[in-house]
Chains A and B, each alone.
Chain A
Amino acid sequence: MKYTEEHEWLRPEGDLVVVGITAHAAEQLGDVVFVELPEPGPVEKGAEIVVIESVKAASDIVAPLDGEIVEINEALAETPGQINEAPLEAWFFKIRPADPAALEGFMDEAAYKALIG
Chain B
Amino acid sequence: MAGTAGSDHDGLACTGLHGLHVELGAKMVPFAGYDMPVSYPMGVLREHLHTRAAAGLFDVGHMGQVILRGPDRVAALERLVPADIAGLAEGRQRYALFTTPEGGILDDLMVANRGDHLFLVVNAANKAADLAHLAATPGLEVTPVTDRGLLALQGPQAEAALARLVPGVAAMRFMDVASLDWQGAELWISRSGYTGEDGFEISVPAAAERDLARALLDQPEVAPIGLGARDSLRLEAGLPLHGHDIDTTTTPVEAALGWSIGKARRTGPRAGGFPGADRILAELETGAPRRRLGLRPEGRAPMREGTPLFDAPEGGRALGQVASGGFGPSLEAPLAMALLPADIAPGAQIWGEVRGKRQPAQVVSLPFVPSRFKR
Q: Which residues of A contact B (CB under 8 A)?
A: 6-8, 21, 24-25, 28-31, 33-34, 36, 51, 53, 55-61, 77, 80-81, 84
Contact call A30/B39, Cβ cutoff below 8 A: yes
B31-50 residues with Cβ-Cβ distance < 8 A to A are 38-39, 43-46
Given contacts A28-B4, A59-B2, contact A34 B301 (CB under 8 A): yes
DSSP class of B's interface residues: helix, strand, loop or mixed? loop
Interface status of B326 (Cβ within 8 A of chain A): yes
A58 — which chain B residues lie within 8 A by C-beta? Answer: 302, 304
Contacts of B329 in A (CB 8 A): 55
CA distance A6 to B45 in the complex (A): 24
Tell me the chain B residues, 168-205 only, with Cβ under 8 Å from chain A.
none
Given A36-B301, A51-B355, A53-B302: A59 in contact with B327 (beta carbons within 8 A): no
Given contacts A31-B43, A31-B44, A84-B43, contact A55 B1 (CB under 8 A): no
For the complex, give the distance between the alpha carbons of A59 and B304 in Å.
13
Q: Is the CB of B43 within 8 A of A56?
A: no
Q: Given the known inter-chain contacts A30-B228, A31-B43, please indicate yes or no for A55 contacting B326, CB distance below 8 A.
A: yes
B337 to A: closest C-beta gap in Å: 17
Instruction: Give the complex CA separation of A60 and B46 in angstroms.
Output: 24
Q: List 9 A-B contacts (CB under 8 A).
A: A25-B1, A29-B1, A30-B228, A55-B327, A55-B329, A56-B38, A56-B228, A57-B3, A61-B1
Residue pair B355, A56 in contact (C-beta under 8 Å): no
Task: Give the residues from 292 to 335 in chain B that come closer than 8 angstroms, CB to CB, to chain A.
Answer: 299-302, 304, 326-327, 329, 334
Chain B residues with Cβ below 8 Å from A57 are 3, 304
Question: Judging by beta carbons under 8 Å apart, are A56 and B44 in contact?
Answer: yes
A73 CB, min distance to chain B CBs, angstroms = 15
Verify A30–B1 contact, CB threshold 8 A. Answer: no
Give the complex CA separation of A34 and B355 in angstroms.
14
Bound state CA distance, A57 and B29, in angstroms?
14
B232 CB–A CB distance under 8 Å: yes
Question: How far, in angstroms, from A80 to B332 measured CA to CA in the complex?
Answer: 12
Q: Scoring B residues 1 to 35 as 1 if CB is less than 8 Å from chain A, else 0, what string do you get?
A: 11110000000000000000000000000000000
Partner of A25, one of B4, B44, B302, B334: B4
